[in-house]
Amino acid sequence: MKPIVEYQDYHLLIKDYYEERKRTSYFSWREFAKVAGFSSPTYLRLVSEGKSNLSRVTMDRMVNAMGLAGYEVDYFKAMVNYGNAKEGERKAAYLKEMQKIALEYKVRVVDKEAVEYFDGWKNPVVRELAPMMPGATPGQIAKMCCNDISAAEVASSLEFLTKAGFLKKNTDGAYRQTEKNVTASREGMAYAVHAMQRKMMGLAMESIDRFGPQDRNVSGVTFAVNRECYERIAQEVDAFRKKIIAIVSDAEEADQIYRLNVQLFPMTWKLNNLEDAKNEKESV
């Protein structure tokens, strides 16, 4: 699904959100309406088709139902007001507000560069660190990293990030990010991001011994769920991740780079699978 700032029609956004959720999990218009607090299971479908509109009250419900956070909330509300407004100065004002937010929080969607960008932890960290150290040499940047990286590797990363358009080098030699956030397309996600996530999880395990509890937060909980419960938890995790991005986007004068891993995975097979296996063995 595209970043929210690439939409100007909230009807289409809701349609794409529904189709994305349905493609990746069990989801229905009835479930969507229930989460949003609507009694009619067809209302949101009609909105997605442009046959009905959101109001100022119902758009707040959609913010929560879709897990929007930070600038996404402001953009969504401006988009609803823009879509509902009649031609005139107010409509133009809402469009201007959308454009301002979109420019400030533009997200870079990676595809062809995904394999190299997400090849380990180095490129994402250098992309964040270089703008924080104007005028620093590759060696100085390397020394600021907690994990092993050479000056030559930093220089190679800076060359790639600049050439691919993730960073821009100013005339004074300082670097700046071209976009605040980077994400991957569905295609890039399959073979690039998963590899990086494995490496990042390895670094997370090492952090338990390398850093004190005052500098890292590692916790977990084991619980029993059904499919409906899992879907609700996964949605909360997505909303939490978006809120973290919003908090980071608003941070000024950052002085350190952190990595947040959020994992939700099964520890057992489903019990009905066990029963099926027993029945199959008994029938042999």
- Span 142-197, pLDDT tens digits: 999 999 999 999 999 999 999 888 899 998 889 998 887 777 655 445 556 777 88
| pLDDT confidence tier of residue 279, bands split at 50, 70 and 90 | low
Kindly report the CA angle at 80 between 100 and 96, in degrees rounded to 5? 25
pLDDT confidence of residue 155: 96
Tell which residue, 183, 168, 92, 185, has the closest CA to residue 127: 168
Q: Which residue has the tokens 């529904």?
A: 18
Tell which residue, 63, 58, 60, 64, has the closest CA to residue 46: 58
pLDDT confidence of residue 255: 92
**In this model, does residue 117 exceed pLDDT 80?**
yes
Query: For the ranges 163-167, 174-178, 214-218, 246-250, which has the lowest average pLDDT?
Result: 246-250
52 or 114, greater pLDDT: 52
| pLDDT confidence tier of residue 207, bands split at 50, 70 and 90 | very high
Query: For the ranges 12-21, 24-33, 185-194, which has the lowest average pLDDT?
Result: 185-194
Q: DSSP 3-state helix, strand, coil percentages of the chain (rounded to 5)?
A: 60, 5, 35
Tell which residue, 106, 95, 92, has the closest CA to residue 10: 95
From CA 13, how far away is CA 7, in angstroms rounded? Answer: 7
pLDDT confidence of residue 172: 87
The CA distances from residue 119 to 114, 152, 199, 259, in Å, are: 8, 16, 9, 15
71 or 284, greater pLDDT: 71
The CA distances from residue 198 to 49, 109, 194, 235, in Å, are: 40, 21, 6, 22
pLDDT confidence of residue 251: 80
pTM, full prediction? 0.60
Q: Which residue has the tokens 């821009």?
A: 168
Does domain 110-216 correspond to CATH entry 1.10.10? yes
**In this model, does residue 262 exceed pLDDT 70?**
yes
Contacts of 88 (CB under 8 A, 6+ apart): none
May I ask the CATH architecture of the domain 4-105?
Orthogonal Bundle (1.10)
Q: State the span(s) of the chain assigned CATH 1.10.10.
A: 110-216
Tell me the per-residue pLDDT of 50-106, one tens digit each, with 9 for 90 and over. Answer: 999 999 889 999 998 998 888 899 999 999 999 999 877 788 889 889 888 887 777
**In this model, does residue 277 exceed pLDDT 60?**
no
- Mean local confidence (pLDDT), 105-109: 71
Please count the other Cβ atoms lying within 10 Å of the Cβ belonging to residue 213.
Answer: 8
Tell which residue, 27, 8, 201, 279, has the closest CA to residue 17: 27
Tokens of 202: 């390895």
Tokens of 249: 């986007």
Tell which residue, 169, 198, 196, 166, has the closest CA to residue 182: 166
pLDDT confidence of residue 84: 93
Tell me the per-residue pLDDT of 36-52, one tens digit each, with 9 for 90 and over. Answer: 999 998 999 999 999 99
Tell which residue, 109, 194, 132, 118, has the closest CA to residue 160: 118
Q: State the span(s) of the chain assigned CATH 1.10.260.
A: 4-105
119 or 80, greater pLDDT: 80
Tokens of 55: 């109001």
Average pLDDT over the chain, rounded to whole?
86
- Mean local confidence (pLDDT), 199-207: 90
* Residue 103, helix vs strand vs coil: helix
